[in-house]
A and B are shown apart, each in its own frame.
Chain A
Amino acid sequence: MSTVKKLVSAEDLVKSFKDEFTTKVKNTRIDTFTRGKKKTTMTHIWMTIDNSVYKKAVKHLFSFDEFPHLAVSSGYDEEKTIVIVQHFSLFHGERGRELSVNLVIPLPKNKPEMETITDLIPGALITEQEKQEMLGIKVKGIPKDKRAFISHDFPKGVYPWRKDETGPKSMVRNLHEGDKL
């Protein structure tokens, strides 16, 4: 049995987000790619979402699909913000109709906090833990607040994906430079 609630096109999905969240949704983009002799298409949606409506935006996905699939969240450090990219997909099981929905959420570096979505999607736990330890963000309300991949003796306050002073620069040994001692 399908879990789809409302099968919509990418354009309608983006419109629905714009209607719901108005100025809190920006930089919307729909990328389509065609493949094969039959020119089947794939559709990837990108939307920048303000952190204040992040959880509501994730909830909004549930009005289209009973179980939105969270593949993973990526993230990177920009000078003044930490950007989290949540890679969702909707409508699997509908041949050729799946939509990849990528929500881009910039967090201010002086207060990089976001809400947990594990109450909506329990499968988000590991990726939220990973973003905390790799980027030094705080996920409020995360059920198991522990490290996922980094060992327990790794120094606190060092975040491997950061490109600023909290990054792992001082810990890196460049083997090609030889033994400096």
Chain B
Amino acid sequence: MSKQLSTTTYQIPIGPIHPALKEPVQFEFTIDGERIVDVDVSLGHVHRTIEWTGMRRNPIQILYLAERICGICSYCHPMAFALAVERIANIEVPLRAQYLRVIHAELERICSHVLWAGVAAHEIGFDSLLFFTWQIREKVLDLTEYLTGNRVTKAITMIGGVRRDITSDMLPTIKEGLDFLKENFEKLRHAFLDDKTVKLRAQGAGILTKEDALKLCAVGPTTRASGVKKDVRIDQPYFAFGDLDFDYVTPDVLTGEVNGDVYDRIIVRLLEVKQSIDLIEQCLKDMPEGEIVAEPKIAKLLASLKKVEGEAIGQMEAPRGEVIHYVKMTGQEHPYCWKVRAPTYNNILPWIPMLLGNQIADIPIVAASTDPCMSCTNRVTVIENNKTQVFSKEELHRLSIEKTRRLQR
């Protein structure tokens, strides 16, 4: 009866094709039974040397290169770069363009958060909700296409402003799109926040304490869900954010408490969708008339940028949190230095305290809860007594669904 249980732990590498969001990152878990006792993370499986390439391109070319850093944040990256260059070159962005920039930024946030909500639902085996979120996202993509001409890589950014205006004849279509979002937001909120199964899987899972979030320099909804008031839009109001009425979204706004778990990260993202709709409406109402770009002649702009010297940073609140670009120009065609830091870079280390003590079946939803932006892995290898067993992505997904079913009984 009192036979001593084995204390052997096992190593489980997961990745570099990840089971949650479809991007590559590799975890190495140390497992005691079902419980995770240590986690290590390996990165760089899709390092494409974009910064190195950018240091051999001119600033206008970099806008289009930066768009391709990430398909979801295809607005934030070129815009953060543009902010840095505008600061070096002392370019004053017209007021109307600052409002237009807010509209595009918030549309991207809605699109990203809704996409994430769908993937999170899929990870816990709630695929009908996945399809509902995709239906909403489709409408947001239609709206993005209507405003920018593109659905994914938007090509709307220009140094000194934006490339397309919103004219008065476009307003009814935008209003129709926003009304659709508002009508469906309530259904989305109800499905995520009132559903018993979502609560069972998300509450108490993947906890990140406020102190860990601060020490590990987490950003975006990941840190706000742990109660940290950090949002670049409010801390350092860029574009026209200083003119708009909004506040930090932390989970206590809705529930009165902060737990820092997966459920809180769902709350923050959902409330931010609503906040973004509101911000777009405020912009449409208050947007002044005027120019949309400081210098419309690109050749002239480029000629002036070749002469500037200096260094600056450009930060934005991307859907996943603070994105920061550092640019150093030395009076040449190409920047001397360009450093890109996407939000997931800072949200990797917080995975470790989140995953410790959780079960293998929780890995997909906890890993997905930071909305990581890398790429993903196809199989899981379990090494047991030097014998390697490979789990497919489907197998890991099945384990997660089985846990949902067990909890529902």
Docked Cα-Cα span, A41 to B290, in Å, equals: 22
Residues of B within 8 A of A85 (CB): 311, 326, 339
A72→B324 contact, CB < 8 A: yes
A96→B228 contact, CB < 8 A: no
Interface residue total, chain A, C-beta cutoff 8 A: 51
B242→A40 contact, CB < 8 A: yes
Distance (Å) between the CB of B220 and the closest chain A CB?
Answer: 12
Q: Give a binary string over A1-24; 1 marks a CB under 8 Å from any B CB, 0 the rest.
A: 011000000000000000000000
Q: Give a binary string over A57-94; 1 marks a CB under 8 Å from any B CB, 0 the rest.
A: 00000000011011110111000000001010101111
**If the complex has contacts A87-B324, A92-B230, A94-B235, are A36 and B243 also in contact, measured as CB distance less than 8 A?**
yes
**If the complex has contacts A36-B243, A123-B346, are A92 and B235 also in contact, measured as CB distance less than 8 A?**
yes
A71→B235 contact, CB < 8 A: no
Partner of B345, one of A38, A44, A97, A126: A126
**B134 at interface (Cβ–Cβ under 8 A)?**
no
Q: Give a binary string over B213-234; 1 marks a CB under 8 Å from any A CB, 0 the rest.
A: 0111110000000001111001
**If the complex has contacts A96-B234, A150-B47, are A44 and B215 also in contact, measured as CB distance less than 8 A?**
no
Partner of A102, one of B218, B313, B322: B313
**B331 at interface (Cβ–Cβ under 8 A)?**
no
A40→B218 contact, CB < 8 A: no
Partner of A42, one of B95, B214, B237, B248: B237
B240→A36 contact, CB < 8 A: yes
Residues of B within 8 A of A168 (CB): 52
**A179 at interface (Cβ–Cβ under 8 A)?**
no
A71→B315 contact, CB < 8 A: yes
Partner of B339, one of A72, A94, A125, A160: A72
Q: Who on chain A is nearest to B40 by CB?
A: A144
Q: Give a binary string over A140-161; 1 marks a CB under 8 Å from any B CB, 0 the rest.
A: 0000000111110000000011
Instruction: Pick the 9 closest A-B CB pairs, nearest first.
Output: A40-B242, A123-B217, A149-B44, A93-B229, A74-B339, A98-B235, A72-B341, A67-B214, A76-B337
Contact surface of A with B, Cβ cutoff 8 Å = 2-3, 31, 33, 35-40, 42-44, 46, 66-67, 69-72, 74-76, 85, 87, 89, 91-98, 100, 102, 121-127, 147-151, 160-161, 168
26 A–B contacts from the bound complex (CB under 8 Å):
A31-B312, A33-B87, A36-B240, A36-B241, A36-B243, A38-B243, A42-B236, A42-B237, A66-B214, A67-B214, A67-B215, A69-B230, A71-B217, A71-B322, A76-B336, A85-B339, A92-B228, A92-B235, A95-B234, A102-B313, A121-B215, A123-B346, A127-B345, A147-B44, A150-B47, A160-B49
